[in-house]
Structure 1
Amino acid sequence: MPIPGLPSDVPTRAALIKHLVRTRIAGDVATPRENNLSHYRRLANGDRHYWLGLELGNRWTDERDVLAVMAERCGVVPDPDHRSGQDTIDPELTVDALDRTSARLRKAAEDNQRVLFATGHPGGLLDVHRATATALRAAGCEIMTIPEGLATDEGMVFQFADVAMLERGATLWHTHSPDPMAAILDGLARDGRALPDLVVADHGWAGCAAQRGLDSIGYADCNDPALFVGESEGTMQVTVPLDDHVTSPRHYDPMTAYLLDAAGLL
């Protein structure tokens, strides 16, 4: 089915890789090396803000181990002596992760599963999630609605265009916190409703769902190592490496078209 906003021509793998590099969704990305290493160090030091809702215990106390995972699964520069300047996301790894995601979306469609979408990055990824939800609903999935009246210390949890987000002061709010997803899952349980079979999200929304034992797919930038660590441990189903807030959200449209086509949803 055609999805509003997506290109009619689905890119090939090679064409998508060129597009990801040109738009800096992958390749030489805007996130600087210093910021990446700082976040890897804070995760290793036990700062829960950087665990994105996952429980990592004392398994990742050496930032060099975190860097090794990020080099393997995201494509950052593996050299620990590279301390500043440019860092990278491997576009081949991005597309590999999209292919793994498409397989899980295909299963969701075949089994008419319940799917929950959420984002802590509404300025970048909202429409990626919205288009995916539209395609899955057309394929017979239940796109879950969240309970009303949910709130966290940061703001209200609400749903727009099938995607759960945080709202604060009439503004869609960027958050890494797992608390909004915890509020949703607790609210569903309180209301006696079934939990989702699959969560498609990012940041702490994805990490919290995975930690609670739900199938969770997350989009993550190269300065958000926790979801990649979670995938390496088998807690996350898939983590897709990309710059999660490039200059125009429309740059993600060819990627979304590729994903949905690979899942048999276009």
Structure 2
Amino acid sequence: MPASPVPPVPMEPAGSAAAAVPTRAELVEHLRRTRIAGDVATPRDNNLAHYRALANGDRHYWFGLELGERWRDEQDVLAVMAERAGVVDDPQHRTGQDTIDPELTVDALERAAVRLRKAAGDRERVLFATGHPGGLLDVHRSVAAALRAVGCAVVRVPLGLVADEGVVVQLADVAMHERGATLWHTHSPAPMREILDALPRHGEPLPDLVMADHGWAGCAGQRGLDTIGFADCNDPALFVAEAEGTVAVTVPLDDHVANPRFYEPMTAYLLAAAGLPLPG
């Protein structure tokens, strides 16, 4: 069905004077209203096409993971996506609306919060990266700032790394891919691969935890690093990886809604659940 207009945000964004951490029920409603979850903009036929591509071995959709022959049945991929993201589980539903279950989004945020609480308690080294700078940059930045505030070390990316005809840059503690002076939307694992290869060359240890999305998260998980990933319902690789235990947590959500401030209540909920300070 056609996408309907996104309604107004139902609460003040985190960091504003009127900001408050939403309850679980308030956050679920917010996710629905902003279409971060619920009836999302990604159409069903696009989702199924991506599931089919992963099952057919198209590595663009593997996000740097090594899936071998384990996911060669498109229906197995659909079953994982229905279980972990809440897409419609009927294989005969081929077009029109698809969904992300906001309850599953919040469940995953709470699992992520447990891992972030451990990172804070152990003063871990954490690496942040995004292939969706237009949507998720501020989510990663806020979590990085909160962990830094409680004594964690945020991994500094070595300078001069080149990947996919661009460079790896780090702004506000978050690694991203830049091409032609533009922050690039990318699913590629190559930028993360460059970072993880470069750190030992510079005498730096690998991170204890990675928080990322797209191929940045897939590559980190494949390297055996504890990884929290964010993924849309047309990006099945990270959900498959969570099912296999390669990625610790995959949070289902639309990863580029109309206004990135819509993610602020979600970020506040995640930080509060982890016992971390909210943005000032």
TM range, smaller chain: over 0.9
**Structure 1: distance between partners of 2:94 and 2:66:** 27
Residues 1:138 and 2:156 are matched in the alignment: no
Aligned 8 A contact 1:120 1:175 in 2 = yes
**Structure 2: distance between partners of 1:8 and 1:222:** 29
**Displacement of 1:92 after TM fit?**
0.3
Aligned 8 A contact 2:226 2:248 in 1 = yes
Report the counterpart of residue 252 of structure 1 in structure 2: 263
32-41 vs 149-158, greater mean Cα deviation = 149-158
Report the counterpart of residue 126 of structure 2 in structure 1: 115
120 and 11 in structure 1: CA distance in 2 versus 1, 3 angstrom threshold = same
Residues 1:66 and 2:71 are matched in the alignment: no
1:35-85 deviation line (CA, Å, top 9, x unaligned): 000000000000000000110000000000000000000000000000000
Residues 1:195 and 2:206 are matched in the alignment: yes
**Displacement of 1:154 after TM fit?**
3.4
Is there any run of 5+ residues in structure 2 with no aligned partner, and where?
1-13
1:108-163 deviation line (CA, Å, top 9, x unaligned): 00000000000000000000000000000001100110000001123110100000
**Displacement of 1:97 after TM fit?**
0.1
**Displacement of 1:264 after TM fit?**
0.2
SS of 2:45 mapped into structure 1: helix
**Structure 2: distance between partners of 1:224 and 1:52:** 9
Residues 1:14 and 2:25 are matched in the alignment: yes
Aligned 8 A contact 1:6 1:253 in 2 = no
**Structure 2: distance between partners of 1:180 and 1:261:** 31
- Which residue identity is paired with 1:12? T
SS of 2:50 mapped into structure 1: helix
**Mapping 1:1-266, distance limit 5 Å:** 4=15, 8-266=19-277
**Structure 1 residue runs of 4 or more that deviate by more than 2 Å after TM superposition:** 3-8
The aligned length equals 264
**Structure 2: distance between partners of 1:89 and 1:116:** 27
Task: Supply the RMSD in Å over aligned alpha carbons.
Answer: 1.1
Is there any run of 5+ residues in structure 1 with no aligned partner, and where?
none
**Structure 1: distance between partners of 2:46 and 2:15:** 36
**Displacement of 1:7 after TM fit?**
6.2
**Displacement of 1:190 after TM fit?**
1.2
Report sequence identity in percent. 75
**Structure 2: distance between partners of 1:144 and 1:195:** 8
1:162-210 deviation line (CA, Å, top 9, x unaligned): 0000001111000000000000000101112100000000000000000
SS of 1:159 mapped into structure 2: strand
**What TM-score results when the alignment is normalised by the length of structure 2?**
0.93
- Which residue identity is paired with 1:27? G
**What TM-score results when the alignment is normalised by the length of structure 1?**
0.98
**Displacement of 1:4 after TM fit?**
4.7
179 and 7 in structure 1: CA distance in 2 versus 1, 3 angstrom threshold = farther
Report the counterpart of residue 8 of structure 2 in structure 1: none
**Structure 2: distance between partners of 1:93 and 1:139:** 28
Aligned 8 A contact 2:164 2:191 in 1 = no
SS of 1:177 mapped into structure 2: coil
